[in-house]
Structure 1
Amino acid sequence: MEKIAFIGTGVMGKNMALHLLKAGHEVVVYTRTKEKAVPLINEGAKWAETLGEAASFADVVITMIGYPQDVKEVYLEENGILDHARPDTIVIDMTTSSPSLAREIHKAASEKRIYSLDAPVSGGDIGAREARLAIMVGGDKEAFDKALSVFERMGSNVVYQGEAGAGQHTKMCNQITIASNMVGVCEAIAYAEASGLNPETVLKSISAGAAGSWSLSNLAPRILDENFEPGFYVKHFIKDMGIALEEAEAIQLKLPGLELAKKLYEELKDAGEENSGTHALYKLWKN
C-alpha cells in the first residue's frame, strides 16, 4: 500500500485521512496545529514535525487546506512540498483553489518529475465521513490512473475531467450551482413558515420532486433543527465564489446569480457568521 502524507486535518480532511488509515495505508499527517491531528494519531497515523518531513516520507501527498494562498505556500515556496517530494511522487491538492494555480503547480512539479493532480471534492462533512465524496480530477491521466485506488477510499464518484486545472474548473461549476440553490432553499423555508405551513412536511413533498437537491435533503433539516455547525464554512464558500467570479470575468462570462449569492453571504459574514455552515444563510431571513 502506498505511503500517504496528509496535510490538513480539518472538518473534511480528518475523515478523509481516517478512511486511508482504515484501508491499510501508512499515513503521516501534518497540520499547523498538532492538536487537530491527535484523533488521527490515536488511530495510528504518524506525526510529521515539518512539511518537508511529511513530503519526503510519502508516495502520495494529499493537501486539504484553506485558501489558494495556503496552497501556493505549501507547494511552491521554499521548503515546500515540491522541494522535498521524491521523483515519481504523486501530489494531490484536494483544496478548492484556483485553476490557474493548479496549472502553476503542475508545471513546477513536472520540472521535478513529480506528478500533480488537482482534485477538489463535493459532499461536505457527511460525504467525507461516509466516504461518499464526489471527486473531480485534473492533471495527467497517467497520474490519475495510479491514484484512482486512493481516491476510491475517500469518494464514491471519482471522475477524471482533463488536463491540469480541469478539476478546479469543475468544482467552480459545482459551487455556482450550490450558491443559487442555497438561496432557493432558504427562501423556500422562509416562505413555508411565513405562510403558516409546517416546513418539515413541506420538505417531504418538495425534496422528492423536481426541486430535489443535495442541499434540500441534507441542509434544510439542519436549518429546521437550528443546527448551523459547519459541514462547509461560510468563509470558505465566499472564497470559492470569488474564484469562480474571477475565472468567469477572465472568459467574459456574466454570472448574476452567483454575484447575488456572494453578496448575501458577505452580508452573513459581516453579521459574524463566517465560521458557521453555509446553510446559516437562512439567518438573513430570520433576523
Structure 2
Amino acid sequence: MSNDTLPRIGFMGLGIMGGAMAGHLRAAGHPMTIANRSRGAGVQALLQAGATWAETPAALAAASDIVITIVGFPQDVEQVWLGADGLLAGAKPGTLLIDMTTSSPRLAVALAEKAASRGCAALDAPVSGGDVGARNAALSIMVGGAADAFARAQPVFEKMGKTIRHMGGPGAGQHTKMANQIAIASAVMGVAEAVSYARRAGLDGESVLAALAPGAAGSTQLNVMGPKMLVGDFAPGFMVKHFLKDLGIAMAEAEAMGLDLPGMAQSRRLFERVQAELGGEVGTQAIIAAYR
C-alpha cells in the first residue's frame, strides 16, 4: 500500500543492489515510479508491488519528489541525468536527485551545479555492503552535498542502510567511496594471497580462516570472500568489471592529487588479468584465480 504522506520516489537502476534497495522503499509505503534498461524479475516484482513504470528518465523525474539512480558507469550517470530525455529535463523545481552509483567525484560536482541551476538539489551517495547489505537494508551510505538536502534524504537512506554519514559538499560522498574501494583493493588481494599460501603449504583452508578470523588478520574480506575463494564460488556480489571501473576512477583522482598508491595499482593489474581470463561479471573474490 502506498502512503501519500511519504515522498514519491523515482528509482532507476534495478540490478543486483538497486532492486533490493527500491524494494525496501516500496515496502515502506513510498509511492514509486521505476525505470530500467530491462524488465527483469526485479522490475516485475516492483510493478506487482504497485510501482509505476516510466519510459524515460525525464518521465520518472516528473512523477517524483525524490529520484534515486544507481547505474553502472559514470557515462551512464551522465546520460541518465543530462540526456535529452534525462532526469533534469523532467525534474520540477524542488526535486531532490540522488545518485547512488559509484562514480566520478568531479561528475558529482558538475551534476550538483546543473541541478541547482534548475532549482533542484543533488546528492552523491554511493554505498558499500554489496548485494547482502542491499538485501538486508544494512548498507553504508556516504553522502556528499548540501546539509539541508541531506536532512531531507536521511529518512529515505535509513530504509536502505544502517550507517549513513554526511561527508561534506558535492563530491565528498564519491571521494569517501574511493577511499573505501582503495582499502578493499589491497584487503581482498591480501586474502587471496593468504589462501593461496595456505593451500600451497598443504593446510586445511577452512581451519586457516577460522584461526585467522579472530586475530589481527580478521576482516570482512577474510570472513566473506575467504570461504568463497576456497570453494571457487565466483558468483558476483560485486562484479569485477564494476570494481575495475571504481579503481580506474580512484587511480585518476589519486594521480590528479599527486598521490602514488602502489597497492591499489597492483590489485588493479590482478583484476585486469582476472577479467581477461574469466570475464568481468564474476565477483571480486575471483582475484584468487590470478594466483593459480
Q: Cα offset for 1:43?
A: 2.6
Match of 1:203 among 199, 203, 209: 209
Asked if 1:161 is matched to 2:167, the reply is: yes
d(CA) in 2 for partners of 1:204, 1:45: 44
Where do residues 48-127 of structure 1 align in structure 2 (5 Å cutoff)? 48-127=54-133
d(CA) in 2 for partners of 1:219, 1:25: 34
Q: Cα offset for 1:57?
A: 0.6
Where do residues 253-264 of structure 1 align in structure 2 (5 Å cutoff)? 253-264=259-270
Where do residues 133-144 of structure 1 align in structure 2 (5 Å cutoff)? 133-144=139-150
d(CA) in 2 for partners of 1:175, 1:76: 27
Asked if 1:2 is matched to 2:7, the reply is: yes
Q: When the two structures are superposed, what TM-score results if normalisation uses the length of structure 2?
A: 0.96
Q: When the two structures are superposed, what TM-score results if normalisation uses the length of structure 1?
A: 0.97
SS of equivalent to 1:268: helix
Asked if 1:193 is matched to 2:199, the reply is: yes
Cα contact 1:235–1:269 (8 A) shared by 2: yes
d(CA) in 1 for partners of 2:82, 2:110: 9
d(CA) in 2 for partners of 1:86, 1:122: 30
d(CA) in 1 for partners of 2:47, 2:85: 24
Cα contact 1:207–1:216 (8 A) shared by 2: yes
Calculate percent identity across the aligned residue pairs: 48
d(CA) in 1 for partners of 2:200, 2:104: 40
Cα contact 2:9–2:32 (8 A) shared by 1: yes
Moved more, 205-214 or 112-121: 205-214
SS of equivalent to 1:153: coil
Cα contact 2:56–2:86 (8 A) shared by 1: no
Moved more, 207-216 or 111-120: 207-216
Cα contact 2:57–2:81 (8 A) shared by 1: no
Match of 2:286 among 272, 280, 284: 280
CA RMSD, Structure 1 to Structure 2 (Å): 1.0
Q: Cα offset for 1:215?
A: 1.1
SS of equivalent to 1:212: coil
Q: How many residues are matched? A: 286
Moved more, 238-247 or 272-281: 272-281
Asked if 1:15 is matched to 2:6, the reply is: no
Moved more, 174-183 or 217-226: 217-226
Q: Deviations over 1:124-146 (max 9, x none)?
A: 10100101100000000100001
Q: Deviations over 1:35-94 (max 9, x none)?
A: 351122223322112222111111110000000000011111222101111111110000
Q: Which amino acid aligns with 2:30?
A: H
Q: Cα offset for 1:204?
A: 1.2
d(CA) in 2 for partners of 1:210, 1:47: 49
